[in-house]
Chain A
Amino acid sequence: MSPLQPLLRVLRSLWGGRGIPLAWLLLTRQPVRLAVALAGISFAGILMFMQLGFRDGLFDASVTIHRLFDTDLVLISPRSSSSVSMAGFPRRRLVQAMADPQVAGITPVHWNLLLWRNPKNLSTRSILALGFEPTDPLFTDPSLASKATVLNQRGRVLFDQQSRAEFGPVAEWFKAGRTVESEISGMRVRVAGLVSLGTSFGADGNLLTSSETFLGLMPNTPPGSIEVGLIRLKPGSDPAAVISRLKTSLPDDVTVLTKQGFIDFEQNYWRTSTSIGFIFTLGAGMGFVVGCVIVYQVLYSDVSDHLPEYATLMAMGYPLLTLLGVVAREGLLLAAFGYLPAYAAGQGLYALVRGATQLPVAMDTTRAVTVFTMILLMCMGSASLAMRRLADADPAEIF
């Protein structure tokens, strides 16, 4: 006996054995009403897909830079709250971490928002500057290492060509062969190359520079203080074990995170300390409510219209449970057939949004399942409310 057989039997008993597909026929013999219902459910589904997609897309966008780092573990100061307010900690802590036998390498990183002067119209705007030793690995992208050698010269920066246009036509000028010079915090710097990183919530633009240049731009930084420490582990080592060893050996002026933990730390800030999450979750909730109202209307009027027929079935000896089952199946069918167009439209709209806003919005399994669960809840909840109307089906009244 195949292991599927008991499952099939359960499914069949749930569906009530082979018989006349009453729920299906009730729905499909009224195509206009069915179309309205499906349009309503799909609309609610699309609304939920869009709102949740925007929310997750915005959270994803907050960690554009975080994802690029070539690292297993990250040290930050416990006083840091997000990428826009990173606090310093002693660089010595990172060197101490080297003592762990499983640590393969470290990269100290300076991280701060600095004022960049637009070379064209001379306005200033804050840009995320990362300072590192040009010989150290920083990003997983291998093309950076060769570009970084130009940073050995003092006063040179690599400019992110995906930075917003407000920072000036730096990339265009550089590609055209012009020498692009500008000011950061009143110091003269020259663009020595272009990189492609991407903008995030906290930073409209990015640039990379050497630690030496970075410290020159921020003379007040205490010597030996860094904002982020990258720790790479030897292949096959256990990050959790290293974290617990580092936590006990290092003083509590540093926090040890995995790379994912560093990403979560940033997203958590935007999720809890700003209203973005709330606004978009509320938007998705609105979609849910709208869908509920539509499905309830459709199922309620469906039950009302067929009340004499339901009463006839009861007079024939069908138990109330069978009739409740018919309404529940109508809900299930509506959920399934309303979800499919919502899914397809969601995919299309995500592609549209990606094209228009550069936000990393894509269909992922979790969201697809979440929205389906919401639609299912919506339809079954409405169905169970509409079932109350069945109590009015009195077989004694139909004579």
Chain B
Amino acid sequence: MAIEVQGLQHWFGSGTNRRQVLQGIDCRVAAGEVVLLTGPSGCGKTTFLTLVGALRQVQQGSVHVLGQQLHGAQRGARQQLRRRIGMIFQGHNLLRCLTAEQNVQMGSDLLPGLSYRARRDQAREWLRAVGLGDHLGHLPHDLSGGQKQRVAIARALAAKPQLLLADEPTAALDSQSGREVVDLLKDLARQQGCGVLMVTHDPRILDIADRLLQMEDGHLFAKPL
């Protein structure tokens, strides 16, 4: 089981401004499963994703990710866990000063015990896999939105994650390149046997999912395909 969440509750703010955003969430994602999470904006999807991604301290409830309990986990343990989780953001969040190849290598550099050459070769391999084999030396500045998002996917996968979290990866893309990006994401994740939890608003890509989840006002419901 990649993700196992029970009774997760979360609040923002303090005192009278304290507002509950997650109202007891139960959810399971199996290894290799592709799950899409939809819902209106402000319903707590992103908060849920950051909690599962070990980017935020769990306040109440149990969150098991890749076999590790995150409730009460220390900063160092969360940082270690993040190495095993790939993340793809709404903006591509590439490092502007690095070429496409170097950006992907920032991902493969997280793998222990590999020589510089091996890590670089892996980075090139991943860029070829996302169809950017002839854009190795380009800076993000010189790439289109879809190309940047594909570099971001290569970077996330280069660290050989067991779980992939994606937050609206197609939001900034037109329908054709959005389609290409999610297809690529799904195929590569399948090959790696890596579970995917993707937040999306985009109704055009729902068909890639094994399972759909719907979030509303801090509650999570299963939604028929």
Contact = CB atoms under 8 A, between A and B. Distances in A.
Contact of A20 (B85, B87, B102): B102
A350 B217 CA distance: 73
Contacts of B93: 308-309, 312, 398
A316 B95 contact: no
A119 interface: no
Contacts of B179: none
Given A20-B102, A316-B106, A317-B82, A309 B55 contact: no
B204 interface: no
B79 interface: yes
A115 interface: no
Contact of B96 (A17, A309, A316, A318): A309
Interface in B77-126: 79-85, 87, 89-91, 93, 95-98, 102, 105-107, 109-110, 116, 119
* Interface size grouping (class) on chain B: 35 or more
Contacts of A20: 98, 102, 105-106, 109
A19 interface: yes
Interface string A2-23: 0000000000000001111010
A395 interface: yes
Given A20-B106, A315-B82, A316-B107, A25 B50 contact: no
B105 A399 contact: no
Given A316-B83, A317-B83, A319-B79, A395 B110 contact: no
Contact of B50 (A18, A306, A396): A396
Contacts of A17: 116
Interface string A93-109: 00000000000000000
Label chain A's interface by main secondary structure: helix
B46 interface: yes
B95 A309 contact: yes
Nearest to B50: A396
Given A20-B105, A20-B106, A398-B93, A314 B79 contact: yes
Contacts, number: 76
Contacts of B35: none
Given A29-B96, A399-B167, A316 B87 contact: yes
A123 B28 CA distance: 104
A317 B116 contact: no
Interface string B48-75: 0110010110000000000000000000
Given A29-B97, A309-B96, A316-B106, A396 B89 contact: no
B34 interface: no
B82 to A, nearest CB: 4
6 contacts: A17-B116, A25-B98, A308-B93, A312-B89, A314-B79, A399-B49
Interface of B: 46, 49-50, 53, 55-56, 76, 79-85, 87, 89-91, 93, 95-98, 102, 105-107, 109-110, 116, 119, 139, 155, 159, 167
Interface of A: 17-20, 22, 25-26, 29-30, 306, 308-309, 312-320, 395-396, 398-399
